[in-house]
């Protein structure tokens, strides 16, 4: 027997199956979708078996060295999905396959065969293998056909399992930590001072911090920590960390269902109908904020579980809040696996295993959970379907929605796309009848959507108010404080990133390697580039004119918090941003505190825009609505409308009515006006007109090809070549733009230019892009990625 293997070398020449002989001992136990170790040139590489055949056309083939799995890690469906993914997104097959399995399996981890039941239950030969031990190294297991078969059988019955020896494999693990011992006399070096200050500020006295975490957060090396320990500034201890991320959220899964409103009942009936009739129908659920969309997902899933089916629920990473997870845990208890990036590699693997071993019927997770290895899917839900995080911005550049639609056709099950502000593309499809449109036009509580006041910040400025807070917003905040009600304040981090500018000559601190301004980090007084990591100290004088009037601009959440505290000294404020949520569990804790009424105001970035469902919030404030409006991106208006609507939706979700204040410098802009009147449909129509005129989705599909090279002319020449090939091979309707320099013209010392293809129906394009991809791959070194092809791009920078 021969195995056709996709090997782990992501280059053009190896992007096809290679034939390997399967020695008898392995042949019997090998199957499609398992990983193997094979000789390749001088090396041994891992690969995926994509087929097993009885003949090969080749004269001489090498043998498979080792099977790496007991059971396939990719089933037939996922193997086919991987092929489709590679074709559609123009990437290598190996890249597609790797992206569908948990990172733990990708790592070169040591594998152990581990006993799950009494050893007496095992056949004699397997018992002998274990002897008195509970685990054996997989590498030591002899390649004996019968033994391997028996091991596999036992694994299938759950008596054995393969473990990956990851650093955090144990349920509890011990790690080295430090606690502050003294800080009266400052330590010798800047770095040490900085580390100690960081400890004092972020953790205070008596609090233990894992050394690994401290190193990452304070950006210091281990030797700095060691010196501090040696000089008695810090004391070293050992702490035990629990691996279960949801210790607080263990629920029994018996929460009562809500009695549905009549709109909800109608919608649920339609979803259920498609589930029971196995219809691969995409449905767009357009429901205003607080209309009870999540309740519908829960009840639909509840029913399909009884029929033995499975469900995937995708939510954006940032709305994978403890609140969301808790709702699923409360309803389904241990029958849910949760997959998101805050988990460690080991934890994610554990959750994935639950799915693969059929111990759960529901997976809730961010983008990559769309690959959950279920075999009997009854429903896929994509909540907040308009979110741009559903698109992966590295290879394979897939959109979770497209993968979900593919799987739904494979399993004959419906997909529900839910949103209060559907993407232009999805709503257009629903309007054309390609998707079934479901709607929930009212809130569950029968209350109207909150009143939204627009505040013109230009007028505030003219009236001499230089604060971040308008008079009206401040007044309303005071009012809530008096009444004991809660407020959320939203600050868009992207627009507020702080850069350094000279007030005298206008000089802006730029990264010397990338065409982008440096961001000021107050904590360590450094200027940093967010693209390449370049760092320098904040200048005291302008490097250009030597003036001392150089300072940082923009307002970070921290500064807003300070100002707010000064204006409202009695307010209890919780700030949620990247800085305050870095510590594991911090996100949960802050929200819990807020939910428990321990604060009056929640001030935060994107992470508070979604999913929050607290009854006592009656005021939502958006400090600067315009920050998204001016990005060089045709979706800027759409994103602004979506964000304003989402944040507004946090207020007045229960008995008490809600109110919203939007501060803006463009109060007459339609995206802002229509968000104020809660008028999605008018926004859709208006925006559709704009898109039509400019030739953007949903009227045209887009493909973006970016070339990057240390030499500007080389990059442009490649762009011109690609432009020529595309122009001469595509149909009349297709528009090829460029090459032009990219909006960010240089990153990491490489110049960037791009070609944009706009098209309606170009069956030949996929093939053509593949050819370009292969052509340019040949020309370049592996480490210098030179061409990037993005089908249906979300970012144009
Ligand atoms: N039929 C119902 N009766 C009573 N309460 C309900 C009902 N349906 C949902 N709820 C509650 O109403 C609140 C809002 O519902 P849910 O979070 O499902 O809305 P949503 O549409 O998903 O909101 P958003 O998109 O704004 O996050 C929740 O607290 C939920 O438990
Ligand atoms: Zn840089
Ligand atoms: Zn200057």
Query: Structural domain boundaries of the chain?
Result: 2-165, 172-242, 247-440, 451-495+555-693, 701-791
pLDDT number for residue 51:
96
Do the domains 2-165 and 247-440 sit in the same CATH topology, yes or no?
Answer: no
- Residue 264 Cα: closest atom of ligand 1: 1
Residue 502 assigned ligand-binding role: yes
- Assigned architecture for domain 451-495+555-693: 3-Layer(aba) Sandwich (3.40)
Query: Is the minimum distance from the CB of 281 to ligand 1 under 6 angstroms?
Result: no
Residue 542 assigned ligand-binding role: yes
* Residues 728-738: tens digit of each pLDDT: 999 988 999 98
As a residue count, the chain comes to 797
pLDDT band, residue 246 (cuts 50/70/90) = very low
- Assigned architecture for domain 172-242: Orthogonal Bundle (1.10)
Query: Is the minimum distance from the CB of 9 to ligand 1 under 6 angstroms?
Result: no
What is the CATH superfamily name and number for domain 701-791? Ribosomal protein S10 (3.30.70.600)
pLDDT band, residue 473 (cuts 50/70/90) = very high
Q: Please state the rounded mean pLDDT for residues 406-426.
A: 97
Query: Is the minimum distance from the CB of 294 to ligand 1 under 6 angstroms?
Result: yes
The best mutation among 256, 289, 295 to test binding of ligand 1, ranked by most ligand atoms within 8 Å of the C-beta, falls on 295
* Span from the CA of 529 to the centroid of ligand 3 (angstroms): 20
> In this structure, which CATH number among 3.40.50.11290, 3.40.50.300, 3.30.360.10, 1.10.760.10 belongs to the domain 247-440?
3.40.50.300
Query: Is the minimum distance from the CB of 723 to ligand 1 under 6 angstroms?
Result: no
Query: Is the pLDDT score of 169 beyond 60?
Result: no
The Cβ-side half-sphere exposure at 45, using a 13 Å CA radius, reads 18
Which ligand is closest in space to the CA of residue 260? Answer: 1
Tell me which of 11-20, 275-284, 638-647, 682-691 is least confident: 11-20
More confident residue, 701 or 507: 701
C-alpha span between 702 and 759 (Å, rounded): 7
* Residues 588-633: tens digit of each pLDDT: 888 889 989 999 999 988 777 766 788 899 999 999 887 777 666 7
* Residues 672-730: tens digit of each pLDDT: 999 999 999 999 999 999 999 888 999 999 999 999 988 889 889 999 999 999 999 99
Query: Is the pLDDT score of 781 beyond 70?
Result: no
Q: Please state the rounded mean pLDDT for residues 503-522.
A: 77
Q: Please state the rounded mean pLDDT for residues 311-322.
A: 81
Long-range contacts of the stretch 550-553 (C-beta < 8 A, 24+): 550/500, 550/501, 550/502, 550/503, 550/504, 550/507, 551/500, 551/501, 551/503, 552/498, 552/499, 552/500, 552/501, 552/520, 553/498, 553/499, 553/500, 553/501
Tell me which of 35-49, 172-186, 566-580, 748-762 is least confident: 172-186
Does domain 2-165 fall under CATH 3.40.1440.60? My reply is yes
pLDDT number for residue 591:
87
Strand 66-67, strand 362-365: pairing? unpaired
Query: Is the pLDDT score of 38 beyond 80?
Result: yes
pLDDT number for residue 249:
40
C-alpha span between 60 and 130 (Å, rounded): 37
What ipTM does the predicted assembly reach?
Answer: 0.94
C-alpha span between 201 and 735 (Å, rounded): 55
Q: What is the pTM of this model?
A: 0.80
The best mutation among 293, 326, 441, 444 to test binding of ligand 1, ranked by most ligand atoms within 8 Å of the C-beta, falls on 444
Query: Is the minimum distance from the CB of 613 to ligand 1 under 6 angstroms?
Result: yes
When the pLDDT of each residue in the chain is averaged and rounded to a whole number, the result is: 86
Q: List the one residue out of 101, 127, 124 whose CA is nearest residue 113.
A: 127
Residue 511 assigned ligand-binding role: yes
C-alpha span between 216 and 515 (Å, rounded): 26
**Can you say whether residue 206 is alpha, beta or left, with left for phi > 0 and alpha for psi between -120 and 50 degrees?**
left
Which range has highest mean pLDDT (124-128, 468-472, 528-532, 574-578)? 468-472
Long-range contacts of the stretch 246-251 (C-beta < 8 A, 24+): 246/325, 246/329, 246/338, 248/322, 248/588, 249/322, 249/325, 249/326, 249/329, 250/329, 251/326, 251/329, 251/330, 251/333
pLDDT number for residue 160:
85
Query: Is the minimum distance from the CB of 255 to ligand 1 under 6 angstroms?
Result: no
């Amino acid at each position: 027997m021969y195995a056709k293997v996709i090997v782990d070398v992501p280059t053009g020449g190896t992007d096809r199956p290679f034939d390997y002989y399967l020695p008898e001992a392995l042949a019997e136990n090998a199957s499609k979708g398992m990983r193997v170790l094979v000789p390749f040139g001088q090396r041994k590489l891992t690969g995926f078996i994509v087929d097993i055949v009885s003949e090969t056309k080749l004269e001489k083939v090498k043998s498979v060295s080792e099977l790496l799995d007991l059971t396939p890690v990719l089933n037939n469906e996922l193997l086919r999905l991987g092929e489709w993914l590679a074709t559609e997104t123009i990437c290598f097959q190996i890249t597609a396959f790797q992206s569908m399995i948990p990172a733990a399996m990708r790592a070169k981890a040591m594998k152990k065969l581990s006993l799950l039941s009494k050893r007496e239950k095992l056949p004699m030969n397997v018992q002998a293998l274990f002897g008195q031990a509970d685990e054996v190294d997989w590498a030591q297991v002899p390649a004996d056909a019968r033994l391997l078969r028996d091991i596999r059988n036992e694994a299938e019955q759950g008596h054995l399992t393969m473990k990956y020896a990851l650093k955090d494999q144990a349920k509890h693990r011990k790690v080295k930590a430090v606690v502050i011992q003294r800080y009266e006399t400052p330590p010798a070096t800047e770095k040490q001072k900085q580390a100690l200050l960081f400890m004092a500020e972020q953790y205070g006295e008596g609090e233990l911090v894992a050394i690994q975490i401290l190193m990452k957060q304070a950006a210091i090396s281990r030797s700095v920590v060691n010196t501090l320990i040696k000089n008695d500034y810090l004391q070293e201890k050992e702490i035990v960390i629990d691996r279960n991320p949801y210790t607080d959220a263990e629920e029994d899964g018996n929460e009562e269902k809500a009695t549905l409103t009549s709109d909800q009942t109608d919608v649920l009936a339609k979803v259920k109908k498609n589930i029971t009739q196995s219809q691969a129908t995409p449905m767009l659920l357009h429901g205003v904020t607080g209309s009870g969309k999540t309740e519908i997902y829960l009840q639909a899933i509840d029913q399909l579980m009884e029929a033995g089916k499975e469900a995937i629920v995708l939510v954006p990473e940032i709305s994978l809040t403890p609140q969301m997870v808790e709702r699923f845990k409360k309803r389904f208890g241990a029958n849910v696996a949760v997959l998101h990036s805050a988990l460690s590699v080991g934890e994610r693997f554990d959750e994935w295993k639950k799915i693969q071993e059929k111990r759960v019927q529901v997976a809730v997770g961010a983008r990559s959970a769309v690959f959950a290895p279920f075999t009997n899917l009854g429903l896929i839900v994509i909540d907040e379907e308009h979110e741009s995080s559903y698109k992966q911005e590295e290879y394979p550049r897939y959109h979770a929605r497209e993968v979900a639609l593919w799987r739904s056709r494979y399993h004959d099950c419906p997909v529900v796309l839910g949103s209060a502000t559907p993407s232009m593309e999805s709503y257009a499809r629903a309007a054309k009848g390609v998707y079934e449109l479901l709607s929930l036009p009212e809130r569950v509580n029968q209350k109207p959507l909150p009143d939204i006041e627009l505040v013109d910040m230009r007028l505030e400025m003219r009236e001499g108010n230089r604060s971040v807070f308008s008079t009206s917003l401040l007044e309303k905040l005071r009012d809530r404080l008096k009444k004991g009600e809660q407020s959320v304040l939203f600050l868009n981090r992207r627009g507020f990133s702080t850069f350094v500018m000279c007030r005298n000559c206008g000089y802006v601190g730029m990264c010397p390697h990338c065409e982008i301004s440096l961001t000021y980090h107050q904590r360590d007084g450094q200027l940093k580039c967010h693209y390449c990591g370049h760092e320098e100290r904040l200048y005291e004088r302008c490097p250009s004119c030597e003036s001392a009037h150089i300072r940082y601009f923009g307002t970070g959440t921290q500064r807003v918090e300070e100002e707010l505290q000064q204006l409202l000294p009695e307010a209890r404020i919780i700030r949620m941003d990247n800085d305050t949520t870095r510590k594991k569990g911090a996100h949960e804790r802050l929200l819990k505190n807020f939910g428990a009424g321990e604060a009056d105001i929640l001030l935060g970035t994107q992470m508070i825009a979604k999913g929050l469902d607290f009854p006592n919030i009656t005021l939502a404030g958006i400090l600067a609505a315009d920050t998204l409006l001016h990005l060089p991106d045709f979706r800027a208006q759409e994103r602004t409308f979506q964000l304003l609507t989402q944040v507004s939706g946090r207020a007045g979700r229960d008995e008490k009515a809600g109110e919203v204040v939007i501060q803006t410098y463009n109060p007459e802009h339609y995206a802002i006006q229509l968000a104020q009147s809660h008028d999605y449909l008018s926004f859709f129509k208006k925006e559709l007109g704009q898109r039509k005129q400019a030739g953007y989705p949903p009227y045209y599909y887009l493909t973006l090809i970016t070339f990057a090279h240390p030499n500007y002319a080389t990059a442009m020449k490649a762009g011109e070549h690609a432009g020529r090939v595309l122009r001469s091979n595509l149909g009349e309707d297709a528009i090829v733009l460029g090459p032009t320099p990219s909006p960010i013209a240089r990153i990491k010392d490489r110049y960037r230019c791009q070609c944009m293809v706009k098209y309606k129906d170009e069956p030949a394009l996929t093939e053509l892009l593949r050819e370009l991809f292969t052509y340019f791959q040949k020309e370049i070194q592996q480490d210098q990625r030179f061409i990037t092809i993005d089908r249906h791009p979300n970012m144009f920078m």
